[in-house]
């Protein structure tokens, strides 16, 4: 039996420190039978130091057979044997990319890389090498002789040096200032310490000259000797009682002055409040006086207007009475003179004594009645307007209430519809779950793989 050519499916297992190696994970061996015959599918893997045994695959390679016959018995033990820096490589065959295979490898922790990832990594490495060669070729001064402005480069170098020198000078000036300030602070500190020591010496000399020794510190505990010593202890003020008395008197004077000032302020505030109250009372009295004057003037104007209207009415009545008497006298005279005179008077245009046909003036009672009618008419119109507005408000409230009821009914119907849809979805999900096979790990049956293509590439 002869060995046929291997398939194109490859796997690479790489161990750090041993170099990159490749091996044939799956190969098709066809026996050389003289008159023709069948074949066998085998799998093998190699590294730079070892190789695996051949694995005979029964039938075509599927995800299940690849996991059962190759991954679990061969790859996982090799990974556990070479755990540090282990990398498992294979091609993009459908069984190699199955979810159960990748899930098993991830669960165990086997580093897995497909052939496409290796090709992408190699392409990226080639691009990086080309870029490095291009940069080395471009930025090499011996090779690149064109496109360089030497004067501009020299100017840039001079500018850079000048900036560096300016920065150095600035830093030196800052350091000189800091040194000067440190020296001044040191001198001030030394002067302060000298003054402090001189003050302490002066205090000690004053105590030795003007104050007696402490009997306790001197070791004298005899009552007679203590009484014989001058009054006052070391560090006390001999005139302490007088000083305290003067301080109390001074504090008493300050308190008395503060009380007098506070009383003066309260008195001034009371005076200002009284002045403000008087001014407000004067303003109110002035307003009342002006209001009374205004009301008197209004009353006088109303009385004058009423008297004027009554005089006009009396005058109009007197004129009407005189006109009526003239008309009556003319009528009597016409009756006395006869019909000719009446015809002659009637024939002459504009000479009729009763030709004035103007409407008689309205009496005050008629005016009052008309005003009363207008007031009642206005009240009636206002009442009608109010009733119409109330009717509109009732209609608007009814429409709002009806819209709210409709919205609640629609919301209730939507809720019922959603409940019905949820129950239907739950039933469909349960039916689908019963029909669909359980694809959890370790519980896959042959019916699941019968849905896929079982032929090999």
Compare 419 and 441 and report the one with higher pLDDT: 419
Taking residues 87-104, report their average pLDDT.
82
What are the beta bridge partners of residue 276? none
**Pick from 2, 1, 5, 23: nearest CA to 14:** 23
Give every CB contact of residue 230 below 8 A, 6+ residues apart in sequence.
Answer: 212
User: Are 54 and 43 spatial neighbours (Cβ–Cβ below 8 Å)?
Assistant: yes
What distance in Å separates the CA atoms of residue 201 and residue 195, rounded to the nearest whole number?
A: 10
User: Are 91 and 10 spatial neighbours (Cβ–Cβ below 8 Å)?
Assistant: yes
Taking residues 143-167, report their average pLDDT.
80
- Looking up tokens 């044939």 gives 24
pLDDT at residue 410 in the model: 93
Q: Kindly report, residue by residue over 237-295, the tens digit of the pLDDT.
A: 677 788 888 999 999 999 999 999 999 999 999 999 999 999 999 999 988 989 889 99
pLDDT of 350 over the 50 cut: no
Give every CB contact of residue 348 below 8 A, 6+ residues apart in sequence.
Answer: none
| Residue 233, phi then psi, degrees to nearest 5 | -105, 170
**Pick from 76, 28, 30: nearest CA to 52:** 76
- SS3 for 100? helix
| Residue 58, phi then psi, degrees to nearest 5 | -85, 110
pLDDT at residue 169 in the model: 94
**Pick from 3, 50, 7, 16: nearest CA to 456:** 7
Number of Cβ within 10 Å of residue 363's Cβ equals 11
Residue 68 DSSP one-character state: I
Number of Cβ within 10 Å of residue 20's Cβ equals 14
**Confidence label for 90 from pLDDT (cuts 50, 70 and 90):** confident
Give every CB contact of residue 78 below 8 A, 6+ residues apart in sequence.
Answer: 13, 45, 52, 86
pLDDT of 370 over the 50 cut: yes
13-15, strands of its sheet edge to edge = 19-20, 13-15, 86-90, 112-114
Helical H segments across 211-239, by residue range = 215-218, 223-228
Residue 82 DSSP one-character state: T
pLDDT at residue 312 in the model: 87
Residue 19 DSSP one-character state: E
pLDDT at residue 110 in the model: 83
**Confidence label for 143 from pLDDT (cuts 50, 70 and 90):** low
Number of Cβ within 10 Å of residue 192's Cβ equals 10
């Amino acid at each position: 039996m002869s060995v046929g050519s291997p398939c194109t499916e490859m796997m690479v297992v790489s161990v750090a420190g041993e170099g990159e190696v490749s091996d044939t994970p799956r190969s098709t061996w066809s026996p050389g039978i003289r008159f023709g015959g069948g074949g066998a599918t085998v799998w093998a893997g190699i590294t730079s130091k070892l190789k695996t045994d051949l694995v005979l695959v029964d039938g075509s390679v599927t995800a299940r057979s690849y996991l059962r016959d190759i991954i679990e018995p061969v790859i996982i033990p090799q990974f556990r044997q070479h755990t540090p820096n282990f990398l498992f490589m294979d091609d993009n065959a459908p069984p190699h990319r199955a979810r159960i295979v990748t899930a098993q490898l991830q669960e165990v922790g086997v580093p897995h890389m497909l052939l496409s990832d290796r090709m992408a990594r190699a392409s990226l490495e080639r691009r990086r090498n080309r870029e490095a060669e291009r940069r080395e070729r471009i930025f090499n001064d011996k090779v690149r002789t064109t496109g360089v402005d030497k004067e501009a480069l020299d100017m840039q170098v001079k500018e850079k040096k000048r900036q560096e020198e300016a920065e150095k000078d600035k830093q030196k000036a800052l350091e000189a200032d800091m040194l000067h300030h440190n020296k001044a602070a040191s001198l001030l500190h030394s002067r302060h310490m000298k003054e402090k020591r001189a003050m302490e010496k002066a205090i000690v000399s004053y105590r030795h000259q003007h104050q007696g020794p402490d009997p306790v510190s001197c070791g004298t505990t005899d009552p007679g000797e203590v009484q014989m010593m001058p009054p006052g202890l070391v560090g006390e003020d001999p005139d302490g009682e007088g000083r305290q008395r003067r301080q109390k008197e001074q504090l008493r004077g300050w308190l008395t002055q503060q009380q007098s000032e506070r009383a003066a302020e309260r008195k001034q505030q009371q005076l200002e409040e009284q002045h403000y109250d008087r001014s407000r009372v004067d303003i109110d009295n002035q307003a009342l006086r002006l209001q009374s004057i205004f009301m008197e003037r209004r009353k006088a104007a109303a009385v004058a207007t009423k008297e004027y209207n009554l005089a006009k009415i009396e005058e109009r009545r007197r004129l009407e009475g005189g006109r009526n008497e003239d008309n009556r006298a003319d009528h009597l005279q016409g009756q006395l003179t006869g019909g000719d005179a009446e015809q002659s008077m009637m024939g002459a245009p504009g000479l009729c004594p009763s030709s004035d046909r103007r409407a008689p003036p309205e009496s005050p009672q008629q005016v009052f009645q008309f005003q009363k009618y207008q007031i009642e008419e206005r009240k009636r119109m206002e009442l009608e307007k109010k009733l119409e507005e109330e009717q509109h408000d009732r209609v608007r409230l009814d429409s709002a209430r009806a819209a709210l009821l409709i919205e609640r009914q629609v919301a209730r119907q939507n809720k019922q519809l959603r409940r019905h849809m949820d129950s239907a979805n739950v039933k469909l999900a349960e039916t689908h779950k019963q029909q669909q096979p359980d694809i959890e790990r370790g519980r896959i049956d042959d019916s699941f793989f019968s849905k896929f293509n079982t032929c090999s590439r």
